[in-house]
Amino acid sequence: MSANGQHPALVLATLCWLLPMLLGSTAFFGWLVWTGGKSDEGKAFQLLGVATLSAGPAFLLGGLVALLVARRRGAGWPQVRRRALLLFANVPLALAYFLGVSVAAIQRVEVVNRSGRAVEQVALTACRTATRDVGTLAPEQSYVWRFSPPSEGTLSVTGKLDDEVVALEGVCMFFVFDRIDVTVELQPSGVWTVHEAPGAPWSWLPGF
């Protein structure tokens, strides 16, 4: 027994649950808050997350072995079962954090109409497979599209302006986990301009 009356093996099993949970949470939320979801920043948090994920199976196995030892040495079944559930709870938590990192791949594309004329049948196509039908953009109206690229690829914009077909090909290049913010703007002169910048912190969230 330990000083608090628990089997040492139960204490070890608790640590095998608690340590990866704390380290993984620190890695994910530290990276998210520190960088706003930027993939090229917060390297220390990223390395901590990778190390925690890599060590996760060892923590799980070590915790299960410790519970087996504790049970054989007389630990109560409720204590063993509770810690086993906590150990396995780290698996979906790790998956949630892993999927949460996908915010680093969310691209932000904004189309702005400053021409004083309506642009009809506006459609956006990224990486050939991701598409968004915008419809009609009234004068001074803008539209924001957020998406995760399925692969490396370019952006195309099509539409119709005064019965003339608009077809902009290869507007910019997208890379997975290299987030950028793109603004495609129709100027009063009728010229389309493109502004591309590294993804700003939190720009993957609505309203940013």
Residue 3 has pLDDT above 60, yes or no: no
Please give the pLDDT value at position 8: 86
Strand partners, 167: 158
State the average pLDDT over residues 61-75.
Answer: 91
For residue 155, CA distances in Å to 4, 47, 59, 107, 119 come to: 62, 32, 44, 11, 18
Residue 117 has pLDDT above 80, yes or no: yes
pLDDT in tens, 9-51: 999 999 999 999 999 999 999 999 999 999 889 999 999 999 9
pLDDT in tens, 129-143: 999 999 999 999 999
Please give the pLDDT value at position 4: 45
Whole-angstrom Cα distance, residue 30 to residue 36? 10
Please give the pLDDT value at position 178: 87
Beta strands in the chain (DSSP E): 107-113, 119-126, 130-137, 142-147, 153-161, 164-168, 173-174, 180-186, 192-198
Please give the pLDDT value at position 6: 66
153 Cβ contact list (under 8 Å, min separation 6) = 126, 127, 128, 173, 174
For residue 66, CA distances in Å to 59, 70, 72, 157, 203 come to: 10, 6, 10, 59, 45
Map residue 15 onto helix, strand or coil. Answer: helix
Residue 5 has pLDDT above 70, yes or no: no
Mean of the per-residue pLDDT values for the chain? 92
Whole-angstrom Cα distance, residue 158 to residue 22? 48
pLDDT in tens, 174-194: 998 888 999 999 999 989 999
Look up residue 78 and give its two tokens.
Answer: 């409720």
Residue 128 has pLDDT above 70, yes or no: yes
Residue 101 has pLDDT above 60, yes or no: yes
Task: Please provide residue 184's backbone torsions phi and psi, each rounded to the nearest 5 degrees.
Answer: -105, 120
* Residues of the chain above pLDDT 90, percent: 80
Consecutive H or E run containing 43: helix 43-72
